[in-house]
Amino acid sequence: MQTRPTFQDALEALGFRGLRGVYANLPPAALYEEALRRGEGWLVEGGPLVVHTGRHTGRSPRDRFLVREPRYEDRIDWGEINQPLSEGSFDRLYERLLAYFRGRDVFVQDLFVCAHEGYRRPIRVITEMAAHSLFAHSLFRRPRPEDRLPHEEPAFTVICAPGCRAVPAEDGTRSETFIVLHFAKRMAIIGGTKYAGEIKKSVFTALNFYLPEEGVFPMHAAANCGREGDVALFFGLSGTGKTTLSTDPERPLIGDDEHGFAPEGVFNFEGGCYAKVIRLSPEHEPGIYRASTRFGALLENVVFDPLTREVDFDSDAITENTRSGYPIDFLEPIVPEGVGGLPRAIFFLTYDAFGVLPPIAKLTEEQAMRYFLLGYTAKVAGTERGVTEPEATFSPGFGAPFLPRPPEFYAEMLRERLGRYAIDVWLLNTGLVGGPYGVGERMPLPQTRALLHAALDGSLKGVPFEEDPVFGLAVPTSCPGVSPKILRPREAWADPGAYDEQAHRLRERFEEELRRFRL
């Protein structure tokens, strides 16, 4: 009788030899114990585990590579984002990684991605750190009792060893840090960084490559669902309010970050959330606050008092990019299956630090293509080192670092769906009103929610719209609970001439950026 392969067999098939110990599919409590025993982090008030990631407090895009090999070479958008690495360099790095693990412990999690049964696939995450195993357990979809995990054949494997460092002169990397995806081998290897987001985003990048071949449009977007089954999608970069606005007490959450849009509807890729928590408060984001202050949450680079162990979410002493990872069922309300119907509304979120875009506008199909390819938001002083003035930022598809194919490829997938289904597309500006950074104030969250709910419940359908004279956008003339002055950003400025100058300058930036694409 043939016996089922063991974890040891599966690891040996990957080339692992001489491991000290294999910790397979440990639950959160055991992973806490291992992380604390190994000095990886601290237990703080309420029960979260806090870890500090050292010099890498965010992703390392310049250290990320895709292996250039014949099978998939012509499908990749090679360039500064998708940097090529030879197969020989990958093999050397992989051997270096395997040698590093000899005599060490490994943590293994066998999990799933994609909530929809038709696209669901197993993944394996192999890590050096117990904390990273906890992160994977929280962020990806956990097996159900009836699931049989094919240990020997995961659809994608991630191996993460922060202590393993590349030798650039030998390995073809830029530095000692490396994040390398090999689509033909269905594998990602990570070294030289403790930032857990590299694990999550490597899997997302892989899905962005594989799923279109199955007719699925992969999206860097949140999704929630109304009482009538009406699904809404929220595209947006960090700081635009994607997590905050999709986590709505009136609309169950399908997921806060990564989804697929299939012919059958929308489905979450993940089983957890990875929220930015700088200045998190129980008043403004109660659900995320509760999820981040309980046992099972993993907090990255969050400051805490070493005596009382109380967390200080307001502190950016380590980084502005503080993070919380937790299972999605820490929130409520949610759609536990992670699957919804076809979307009825799409929102492109932007934080306009120049204070010139309207707070909400309805987009035509052509405008939707333009704003999808722009992926516009603005950095403001204090969010990144060296940023002292507002700075326009563009990320095609609202997720350029994770798109292995050309942006136009994903834009055409969106265009096809907009043409087939009755979907309203909106631009929602969560940025400044009344002036630019230093003068204007951020759009109040209650008013942003009022605009969002009005767009979703149909309240804006009977309202007259007028065309914004600079951007050509259709703007409602009124909305319950929102000041008409806010709806017309020019009227909120003390100096209308200064508004005109700023608005035309931003429009010119848009036009310059769009020249890169074949529209």
The residues assigned a catalytic role are 59, 201, 220, 238, 242-243, 257, 323
What is the C-alpha R_g of the chain?
A: 23
β-pairing, 64-68 vs 83-86, is: parallel
Strand locations in 87-208 (E): 105-113, 121-127, 156-161, 178-182, 187-191
> Nearest Cα to 389, choosing from 436, 433, 321?
436
Can you give the three-state secondary structure of 362-379, one letter per residue?
A: EECHHHHHHHHHHCEEEE
In angstroms, the first-to-last Cα distance of the chain is 60
Q: Which residues contact 250 (CB under 8 A, 6 or more apart)?
A: 226, 453
Q: In a 3-state reduction of DSSP, which class is residue 93? A: helix
CA-angle at 385, arms to 382 and 387, nearest 5°: 65
Name the nearest CA neighbour of 442 among 372, 350, 363, 353: 353
d(CA 412, CA 146): 38
**Parallel, antiparallel or unpaired: strands 217-225 and 231-235:** antiparallel
Query: Cβ of 456: how many Cβ atoms within 10 Å?
Result: 21
Structure tokens belonging to residue 17: 């030899």
Kindly write down the DSSP assignment for every residue of 196-229, as one continuous string.
THHHHHHHHHHHHHHGGGGT-EEEEEEEEE-TTS
